[in-house]
Structure 1
Amino acid sequence: MPDTEDWEQMVEDAMKSVRYDPNLELADLRKTEAEVFDYPTMKTLSQLINDDVIETLDFCISTGKEANVFHGTAPDGTSLAVKIYRVNTTTFRQHLEYLWGDRRFDPGGKSERDVISLWASKEFRNLRRLRNGNLRVPEPVAVENNIIVMEYIGEDERVAPLLKDVDLAEPRDGYDALVDFIETAWEEADLVHGDLSAYNVLVHPPHLIVIDVAQAIVSDHPRARELLKRDVENVAKHFRSRGVDPDPDAVVDRLVPAEEVA
């Protein structure tokens, strides 16, 4: 790690051209910057820069309640998505619900910042696990503390749109693709997304790409079957509004015995 003056300059150089939504109020912009780019996060960014993972942060892709996602550029010019989790009490408590009961992680006795870092690590591992199952999710590149770097889904500065904002030419094919995702994730990757909806699926023709997988849990988690059913129902609800006649009960019945579903 470079000395303090060097790494601060390194991060400043990498961020000097970051662009935000021009409609964002100045007060909101300052609040976002203060919440996202605290001192530990800036040091983590410097580590990723020093390790040649990223070279610049270019523009903000999305601002959510628990994280901001930026377009970044690797030293070789490759576009990246850089997701920076905020450290706050609200998300800390929500994350604990999904960490407890997942045999891969133990959040016991950890600080808020440590739990957020564990959450970023969980997303990285879930992405890798899903990719190993040949499922369409962004390819994970690196994770460090509360920052995860992954494949950018889009063309140049045109980020792939969310499914909620797109009318697919063949909605039945879209429904079938997401049902296949749920089934394969459950049967091959031993994971259930846990929050699947049209709000965390990107449309990148000819494919649908599932994102936001940090909360995904293994099948023996106490809430796995409940969340599996919810995912199936959320997908069915969206595509029903697009003229598809889905049968979510049949999907759930294929995956788990009726007595195991909450």
Structure 2
Amino acid sequence: MGREDEYERFDREIEAMGVRIKDADAMKVRDDVFDDVTLMALYKLVHRKLISVIGGPISTGKEANVFYGEHDGRGIAIKIYRIQTANFRAMTGYLAGDRRFSSVRGTRKGIIFAWTKKEYSNLARAHDAGVPAPEPLAFDRNILLMEFLGEGEAPYPQIRNAEIEDYKGVYGEILGYVERLYREARLVHADLSEYNILYHEKPYLIDMGQAVTPDHPRAPAFLSRDIRNLNRYFSRYCDVPDENEVFRAITGRREPGIPGEGRQP
């Protein structure tokens, strides 16, 4: 059976289960996105009645593609990690130092499946701590379902493209999220920048697959980089404090990587 025949069979089976496919052509663009493993994971999520509509792409990237979907009328984001092109070697470094996933070994698929589970876990921690981030809903293999942050089928803009009146206030909000993430969710985002923050009346943190616990050996360096990225961006629009001062306020450490008095990660 050819790939087109396989897609048609998949479409028929999905639609027979009551799922509406809004943009079938968009789903067929890349074989390295909708490969056999992904189709099976999607089928299982549909079978669990977690998806009622599959729409077009929200974002595309080397690591993952995100599609719009719905579950009983509620907008959801369907994030699919691309097994063929995702940088699983880089993923391994984040997993290896995280005690929750340090035992993960094996194939490219195994690493990516663990990464998907890791992002689900990280989003759950952030959400439980009250950090504005997508609520995770379910995962299977390399697919993560989460709350859709947007209006209609359009996602909220990245903060770099948003209209903001009070940059100083928004900067302070985000630093508050970073502190709450560290102290209450026990996480460091590890890839925070103007590309991983959405904005609509308030900022939202996204893309948390790489987030690590504070006892990860590189957590201090990751946190310092997050702060540096925020300061680099917001310094264009408002005054920002010294990054080491921010680091100390969040962690109780004197400087990145050097334990001091006070709270330890």
Q: State the Cα deviation string for residues 227-258 of structure 1 (Å, max 9, x = none).
A: 01110111111110123333322111222422
In the alignment, what sits opposite 1:100? 96
- Please state if 1:114 is matched with 2:117: no
Q: 1:259 to 1:168 in 2, by over 3 A?
A: closer
- Please state if 1:42 is matched with 2:45: no
CA contact (8 A) 2:244 2:256 kept: no
Equivalent of 2:235 in 216, 221, 240: 240
Q: State the Cα deviation string for residues 158-179 of structure 1 (Å, max 9, x = none).
A: 2100011124110011100111
CA contact (8 A) 2:20 2:52 kept: no
Q: 1:11 to 1:91 in 2, by over 3 A?
A: farther
- Please state if 1:65 is matched with 2:70: no
More helix as a share of residues: 1
The residue type equivalent to 2:227 in the other structure is V
Distance 1:167 1:7 in 2: 41
Instruction: Please give the TM-score of this superposition, normalised by the length of structure 1.
Output: 0.88
Distance 2:51 2:61 in 1: 22
RMSD, matched Cα: 2.3
Distance 2:24 2:82 in 1: 19
In the alignment, what sits opposite 1:229? 224
In the alignment, what sits opposite 1:17? 22
For structure 1, the residue ranges without an aligned partner over 5 or more in a row are 22-28
| Identical-pair percentage | 35
Distance 1:224 1:161 in 2: 28
CA contact (8 A) 2:247 2:256 kept: no
Q: How many residues matched?
A: 249
Equivalent of 1:54 in 51, 56, 59: 51
Shift of 1:15: 6.9
The residue type equivalent to 1:77 in the other structure is G
Instruction: Please give the TM-score of this superposition, normalised by the length of structure 2.
Output: 0.87
For structure 2, the residue ranges without an aligned partner over 5 or more in a row are 1-5, 259-265
Distance 1:12 1:88 in 2: 27
Distance 2:132 2:54 in 1: 25
Q: 1:157 to 1:9 in 2, by over 3 A?
A: same
